[in-house]
Structure 1
């Protein structure tokens, strides 16, 4: 049995078990779900897992589409009680966030202080998973990846030892946590430096689907020259749906935002736009409940250069009725961090491409080969993969996410902090890599 806990242990049949065994698009059947209330609970659960030889999954928001946050027959460490958000030093804008918090809670709490953090796009998504993998969102070009704001983390290691990782303590672990995924330990709290953001100008300009190539071509030509305050993306809807230019200007001045956005607008008839100043928390979408049987397959990669062939392939892929394509501008503050400063290995690229097939099991089965074919077609113009936007778990995925030099360095940290590879429900770096 697990030692004394402040939280609870749920087993099949207990109230709440069915909810916590499920993630965004996956449903496992773990032997135990431990609802942790602190580092002591995490340590006790890990001790039990080691003793019993149980697979360990860590559940924050539970939105990774590879389903790492659940398993069959193992133990799930649910961190949802660890959801505190505290501004510990307003003068330094220093914020402490529990490893089980979600970005919606974070953004609303910080808004009361006139602050924000560059996060993902979605209110429901967990802080921990996004920070450990990267954090590409609507303030990225202005303030960098979400993980670039992390200055310290409280971590429970595989043997139950609590440590603090920062630029002065366990520096190798601090480097590895920022981009290395869940490979090194369970983060019970992060400390980050927030930014003075209140309102932003946000919205979408819609164009006819048959002009998607023109929209994407024009945007690709001009997005890199936009001011850092402007983060933008083009969405190609499945089938004959519209092409959409989405923008977020990090500031509430509509005139300045329009000046920044104007060069991105192609000479194509618009179907309308909804650009407007809004409080930052309002741009984080609330993911709806999904119908039974809903599935999602995701591929992502980074653009080295936009070419006519790349644009043609992206537009062709979105012509399928179940495939959506998103192309998001990078650069700006992302590239002002040294490539080896963190374990996130994909700085210096023009954009992130994400392709998604979604629907019932049959639709996704038809869509996955289309995604793989798209990745093959665009391979000459892209590189790598983004750990937070993926649904497969193959050796090739890990190799794409972590280039050889990064992987070797991560493996060395893994040998120090998790030599038994307890934390392997992730894009796994083994101690032997």
Structure 2
């Protein structure tokens, strides 16, 4: 039977060491001829052969597209845990081009001579199955539990998992006898026999054994690719294409791997046989209506969530389901653990439109839009809903050097933006952590290290393109769709998905970055004096005060971190001197560095947050004695383990309150408090709220609808609701502090 897999072609190259570069050059030739796969036999005891894994690594570095695999890896001589790490590491380095074909072992006299105990045929299959379990366990990088397997041949006792490979590495098995075939049916992704060892009918009988075992294990037999090592027939090329097409259509073989080192033979196969086989198989499949496709595993299908039409997911958009190998890298955010039902990763604006249209047909589900996934509010993932992940829309383009204008995609991270702008001697105020995505911050406000000098990030936005809930793409600026342009600067998450931001940036030299530690003996006085010093400080200086608290001690640390937008040492010291006098110093350091270095503090590793983040947020006009006392009591309560007060004011306050949807322009400070206990935090935060003059939603996790009223004054909220009613009347974008449309309100 035809299992419907897309056809692939490979080469089986001898790893001879007589001319070490020869197998490498053959692999490069195979790639240039359009083959899909190059493989090498693995016989580490053979003195005339290069070590196969070393060769594979070298070939991966000397090729660009082709997949590479051992054919087959000698499991008795390769520790499975180490081999798994080597494979996933090389897969990452090669961009997802490593496949694994395994063998239970042969030529046992040579294997034993290498110091490995001899196994019986039955023991070798047991060892192979244990190796598969260990390798898959190592590749399960999203599983935080240590890997343990107590096998009869292979065991691991608390091994660390990972790294996560660049693609779902398949495991093919070269086996001929029933027990090996049944193992393929239960656990492998493919069967790789050599046709020279098969008698007529053996391929069909092997398929039947594999299929029966697969069904018994709850698998779809179509999950298992059927490969074959082939040689040139003694009769020559005439009729060979028809023979291979018959093997594909009647016996389900879909990957043909030619064992030959001759450049001429490989070229003839690529130019004459491969196209003919493809055409014959395509013609017959078209006649029968069979659409070639890789079949999703039964386990992956079982992991799907209810309420989602997975088959209707937009074609062309990268789709990641709960059962997919890389789901662990996209399900959670920096702080929050998530388990969405489907993650869409559009790579173009057109694919964003398709993703929004799909989300509109699933309006009954939660919808999260993610740029970088750092957000403390935790709104960029969910449980069982949809996530539109914009990480691939990460372009950073200079539009006009003279005007200092740039265009940035929502998935770009601020660390990368700072690097690109830094090469021009520019910078844009953009938070205080380089791992934050542009989209979330540039639609909420943007309180950063340069805020008092440059204002908020949104204050530098001059135009944007946004996909609305109906799938339309709209350009906004002060002249075009000005109401929408007003709204996205502070409430953009409610209006649609911004797919492109145009900013005007500023020249910035190196900056002075200070870290000052203080004795927290008199907390109210420290807060009040810091607040007063900052309100009087020149705008070159922006700081934040951070307090870390543990139950074992009243205060673990009180630190003021500050950036001085100047490369003049005297200016830096003059700005910082008043801060050094607010309380006894316990530590101090000042360094001169590029803004890009300050923002280059982010790890590129996938986010792996756990649980639910809990944070409260507020804006404060002045740190008066009453406010300082209230904050000190809140800190002393222990309800929060981390309190951060950021400076706003300065250039932020120069903008009129009604100029953008971010309206609380008179506030000089933004406070956020993190906790592990939501109820306790809410109780103690309620005592602080009377002193607040609004909130900054990016640091708020509360689901209380009243937070909208804290974030937006009545005139601002009323205008937002009118705009929401026009651009998103059905409330598709409602899961990030929803502004209910005017009619519904």
Q: TM-score range by the shorter chain?
A: over 0.9
Structure 1 residue 304 corresponds to structure 2 residue 621: yes
Q: Which runs of 5+ in 1 are unaligned?
A: 358-363
Q: Does the alignment pair 1:30 with 2:340?
A: yes
Partner SS for 2:513: strand
Residues 36-77 of structure 1, C-alpha deviations (whole Å, 9 max, x = no match): 111111111122222243432211111223322122333211
Deviation (angstroms), 1:307: 2.5
Partner of 2:392: 81
CA separation of 1:394 and 1:201: change in aligned 2, threshold 3 A: same
Counterpart in the other structure of 1:98:
409
Q: What is the aligned partner in structure 2 of residue 360 from structure 1?
A: none
Name the structure 2 match of 1:251: 566
Pick the aligned partner of 2:631 from 278, 289, 314.
314
State yes or no: 1:389 paired with 2:699. yes
Deviation, structure 1 residue 266: 2.3
Instruction: Provide the residue aligned with 1:120 in structure 2.
Output: 431
**Residues 420-429 or 232-241, more deviating:** 232-241
Q: 1:69 aligns with which of 367, 380, 400?
A: 380
User: How does the TM-score come out when normalised to structure 2?
Assistant: 0.55
Q: 2:663 aligns with which of 345, 348, 351?
A: 345
Answer with 62-71 or 156-165: which moved more: 62-71
Shift of 1:4: 3.4
Decide whether the 8 Å contact of 2:320 with 2:344 is kept in 1: yes
Provide closer, same or farther for how the CA distance between residues 294 and 204 of structure 1 changes in structure 2, counting only shifts above 3 A: farther
Cα 1:310–1:290, aligned 2, differ >3 Å: closer, same or farther?
Answer: farther
Normalised TM-score (structure 1): 0.93
Q: 2:186 maps to what in 1? A: none
Shift of 1:380: 3.1
- The aligned residue for residue 643 of structure 2 is 325
| Aligned-partner Cα distance in 2 for 1:328–1:11 | 38
Structure having the higher Rg: 2
Match of 2:445 in 1: 134
Q: Aligned-pair distance for 1:243?
A: 1.8
**How far 1:111 moved relative to its partner?**
0.6
Contact 1:133 1:180 in 2 (8 A): yes
Whether the 8 Å contact between 2:398 and 2:406 is mirrored in structure 1 is yes
Aligned to 2:514: 203
Instruction: Return 104-113 or 259-268, whichever deviates more.
Output: 259-268
Counterpart check, 1:334 vs 2:647? no
Offset from partner CA, 1:174-199 (integer Å, 9 cap, x none)? 00000014111111110001110131
Aligned partners of 1:10 and 1:33 also within 8 Å: yes
Distance 1:326 1:49 in 2: 36
Shift of 1:294: 5.7
**CA shift at 1:420, angstroms?**
1.0
After the TM superposition, which of the residue ranges 17-26 and 270-279 deviates more from structure 2? Answer: 17-26
List per-residue Cα deviations over 1:69-94 (Å, max 9, x = no partner): 12233321110000111111111110
Contact 1:208 1:241 in 2 (8 A): no
Give the root-mean-square deviation of aligned CA atoms: 1.9
Cα gap change, 1:260/1:30 in structure 2, threshold over 3 Å: closer, same or farther?
A: same
Give 1:298 shift.
Answer: 1.1
CA deviation digits over 1:399-431, x for unaligned, max 9?
111121111100111111111111111110011
- What is residue 406 of structure 1 aligned with on the other side? 716
Comparing both structures, which one devotes a greater share of its residues to helix? 2
C-alpha displacement of 1:248: 0.8
Cα distance in 2 for residues equivalent to 1:3 and 1:242: 50
Deviations 1:193-223 (A, max 9, x none): 1110131101211112324333222112221
Going from structure 1 to structure 2, the CA distance change for 1:354 and 1:72 (only over 3 Å counts) comes to closer
